[in-house]
A and B are shown apart, each in its own frame.
Chain A
Amino acid sequence: QKEVEQDPGPLSVPEGAIVSLNCTYSNSAFQYFMWYRQYSRKGPELLMYTYSSGNKEDGRFTAQVDKSSKYISLFIRDSQPSDSATYLCAMAHNDKFYFGSGTKLNVKP
């Protein structure tokens, strides 16, 4: 079993839709939870970072962590074509980072 599981998609939505991206994990020791956005042939860009259960909001993005269920989510409101990218979840424990395989999102104009 992988440490972090993420649906690879692709996920295709119309512009303006609410997008929900999810990851599950198996290691209850994970302390930090992150979401990265990666455009084609570029390095990942940090979007959200949290270390506690609950919600964290930043503009159109909301990160949600449920440690009891070992489940994290990223919600994107009013999605735009420029949001089309691969979204990677990441978790950290003992100074090591573990990444999901990424979900490819396509927002259609």
Chain B
Amino acid sequence: DAGVTQSPTHLIKTRGQQVTLRCSPKSGHDTVSWYQQALGQGPQFIFQYYEEEERQRGNFPDRFSGHQFPNYSSELNVNALLLGDSALYLCASSGGAADTQYFGPGTRLTVL
């Protein structure tokens, strides 16, 4: 049973560019949440998707957007990248909104 998978593993972008990160949830899970984790910090909630709709959102600007597909996989898009967007981006899936979340390995984004 595959766990949560994310791609790519690493990404280097320059300021102003746009990036798309991808996540496939654990088998049987229908809810996907995205987090940003800066070095030495805990994960910060970006948003959560369920039934292809954004259900919850944290305190992140509109530059951060997402999508969920019918197969429950999800994308995180970040526009107009800033240096401060450099972080580990984590995807977590669960079988329900309040169910335990299982994390993927993350995508490390570096903005130069």
Contacts and interface: CB of A to CB of B under 8 A. Distances in A.
B71 interface: no
Interface of A: 4, 6, 8, 31-32, 34, 36, 41-46, 49, 88, 92, 95-102
A43 B42 contact: no
Contacts of B108: 41
A5 B103 CA distance: 21
A42 B106 contact: yes
B55 interface: yes
A98 B45 contact: yes
Contact of B43 (A8, A42, A99): A99
B101 interface: yes
What interface size band does chain B fall in? 20 to 34
Given A8-B40, A32-B98, A42 B45 contact: no
A30 B101 CA distance: 15
Contacts of A43: 4, 6, 90, 103-106
Instruction: Please give me the 6 A-B residue pairs with the lowest Cβ-Cβ distance, nearest first.
Output: A99-B42, A95-B97, A43-B103, A101-B42, A43-B105, A44-B103
Nearest to A49: B100
Given A95-B56, A96-B56, A88 B98 contact: no
A97 B41 contact: no
B68 interface: no
A4 B45 CA distance: 13
Contacts of B98: 31-32, 92, 95
A6 B48 CA distance: 24
